[in-house]
Structure 1
Amino acid sequence: MSELLKFFVKYSSWFLFALYLVAGFALLFSRNPFQHHVFLSSANIIASGVYNTTHNVTSYFSLRDINEDLQARISELELENYMLKNHLRAEREKIYADTMTVDSALTRYHFLIAHVINNSINHSHNYITIEKGRLDGIEPEMGVIDQNGIVGIVNVVGDHTARLISVLNPYLRLSCKVKGEDQVGSLVWDGRDPGEAILEELPKHAKFVKGDTVVTSGYSSVFPEGVPVGTILSGSRDREDNFYTLRIKLFTDFSTLSTVRVIRDNMKEELAEVEKDIEIKNIN
């Protein structure tokens, strides 16, 4: 207690000064309207600043919590979206497999659905990569089509992916004919337009008109007979030539290629064995 009294005695002058100062301000702001107004305005500004700062700090932490909740919800929605996409993709594949362009009576053939993961159309020799491979039943020399027409032929196969020689590649030649006719020509891309190709070596007695449909001939185990290729844009033949050259508008839009069907010929091995036997006999 004595120490406390000593403290007040020691600093009594400061306490007295503070008391006079408070009393002076009280008299000043209570008796003078202008100073009273200034005081209240200043107090309001200070209080408002303190309140805004407190509110901003509180809002920041609240927003952080809200942001975390939103992120969690977005993650849940993305997962739901991914699951729905997979479900829709499976349903589309099921429907897609049932909408075959070729005759459904051709049970000799089986179709494997695959998605395009790489595709070129602007090079001189174009290739396509699909996300199905050896483990999915893909083999070299399988034909590939989409819902509109021919796409290419498998030439390189990995465990999970495969590469196709695109129709837009002059290395690829396909046996085709005018629908309803027997004469066969060779379809090849001339490198000019990714939407067009050339049907060469069509015999001069073949009958056709502009707009006729060109289809695969079926003279191989790669494509069934009758797979749509395109329509005739024009035809020409030199006087001294016994063959027509037709320009074909392709049905397949290679710029939007996304889902394809790989054709498995269930008689391929049998045909290979028979043709091998024929080759041996011809050699002998």
Structure 2
Amino acid sequence: MRNLLEFLARYNHWLLFVLLEVIGVVLLFQYNSYQGSVWFSSANAVAGKVLSWDAKVESFFSMSKANQELTQRNLYLEQQVKMLSGQLGEATKDSGWVHRNQLSLLRSFKLIPAKVVSNSVDRYDNLLTIDKGSADGVRKDMGVACGQGVVGIVYMVSTHYSVVIPVLNTSSNISCRIRGRGYFGYLHWNGGDPRLAYIEDVPRHAHFRLYEWVETSGYSSVFPPGIAVGKILHVYNSPDGVSYRLQVELATDFGNLSDVCVVDNEPMLEQIDIMRSARDSLKLKDGK
């Protein structure tokens, strides 16, 4: 308190000067219309600029949520296109169109939007980390996709983060089929170019063309059918000569991946449990 009093006593003339200046400015702008209008306009300009900056900052930070919503919406729209294609195929009796009802299948899945926080594309054992974990409903062996197509499978889960084995990992193995054809194989990456992968074990009697699309088959509990994988670029014979090996250009750009969705596979797990129970019942019945 003593220091404060000494400070006021030492600089009392400056404090008095500032106080008189403030009073003078207030009286000037309050009782003079011209000066008042100038102050009002300047104040509005400053306030407007501050509000504009605030809106831009808020818009920047809301971009993340918008990107997540767009990623989720892209997945829905992709399935909707397939459903409409199926309806058109049914109307035109063209068996080459994709089957319908895939939109309703995807809608039965819960999609968990997530942000990629760590990613690599230049290793044989690439891993990807997302910012959602068990607290958000993510579990091991769930599928991960983005608006472009398939991404990978959840490998490890903590409370708030998860590690994903992406397509660009030599241990990744995802069941796929040729869109509109029904022939299936397994997606595998051998390293090298992150834009290219291979579909192994495609039957020799399969009929297809270059640049046709490959998509998830739905034959596992990880992905629903119809999520884009890539386009066929080249066809090779397998090393044993009993099947085809297809080189595909991946739909997902792993070098520029930021927003993904984790696919909750609980409905499929229920279907698989029912099928297993039915098989077990048949075995018991046959045993009797």
Instruction: Give TM-score, length-normalised by structure 2.
Output: 0.66
Residues 68, 260 of structure 2: 8 Å contact kept: no
Query: C-alpha displacement at 1:266, in angstroms?
Result: 4.0
Query: C-alpha displacement at 1:273, in angstroms?
Result: 2.3
Residues 115, 130 of structure 2: 8 Å contact kept: yes
Q: 1:247-280, CA deviations, whole angstroms, 9 ceiling, x for partnerless residues? A: 1110111000000011113413413422442565
1:51-66 to 2 correspondences below 5 Å: none
Residues 196, 249 of structure 1: 8 Å contact kept: yes
Which residue is equivalent to 1:120?
120
Q: 1:163-195, CA deviations, whole angstroms, 9 ceiling, x for partnerless residues? A: 100101111101111111122111100112111
Task: Tell me the amino acid that sits aligned with residue 95 of structure 1.
Answer: L
How far, CA to CA, are the matches of 2:219 and 2:278 in structure 1? 16
* Structure 1: runs of 5 or more not aligned: 1-74
Q: 1:185-239, CA deviations, whole angstroms, 9 ceiling, x for partnerless residues? A: 1110011211110101000011122111111111012111111100111001269
How far, CA to CA, are the matches of 2:282 and 2:241 in structure 1? 31
Residues 109, 264 of structure 2: 8 Å contact kept: yes
How far, CA to CA, are the matches of 1:130 and 1:214 in structure 2? 26
Task: Tell me the amino acid that sits aligned with residue 172 of structure 2.
Answer: L
Taking only the aligned residue pairs, the percentage that are identical comes to 32
3-state SS of paired residue (2:71): helix
Task: Tell me the amino acid that sits aligned with residue 104 of structure 2.
Answer: A
Which residue is equivalent to 1:96?
71
Residues 201, 243 of structure 2: 8 Å contact kept: yes
Task: Tell me the amino acid that sits aligned with residue 207 of structure 1.
Answer: H
Over 3 Å counting, the alpha-carbon distance change for 1:239 and 1:95 in structure 2 is closer
Which residue is equivalent to 2:172?
172
Tell me if 1:160 matches 2:160. yes
Instruction: Give TM-score, length-normalised by structure 1.
Output: 0.67
Residues 135, 159 of structure 1: 8 Å contact kept: yes
Tell me if 1:111 matches 2:88. no
Query: C-alpha displacement at 1:80, in angstroms?
Result: 5.8
- The CA RMSD over aligned residues, in Å, is 2.6
Task: Tell me the amino acid that sits aligned with residue 69 of structure 2.
Answer: K
Query: C-alpha displacement at 1:98, in angstroms?
Result: 2.0
Larger Rg: 1
How far, CA to CA, are the matches of 2:281 and 2:123 in structure 1? 42
How far, CA to CA, are the matches of 2:124 and 2:177 in structure 1? 25
Tell me if 1:83 matches 2:83. no
Which residue is equivalent to 1:135?
135
* Structure 2: runs of 5 or more not aligned: 1-49, 81-102
Residues 201, 238 of structure 2: 8 Å contact kept: no
Task: Tell me the amino acid that sits aligned with residue 61 of structure 2.
Answer: N
How far, CA to CA, are the matches of 1:166 and 1:94 in structure 2? 21
How far, CA to CA, are the matches of 1:251 and 1:270 in structure 2? 29
Residues 165, 172 of structure 1: 8 Å contact kept: yes
Residues 72, 111 of structure 2: 8 Å contact kept: yes
Aligned residues: 211
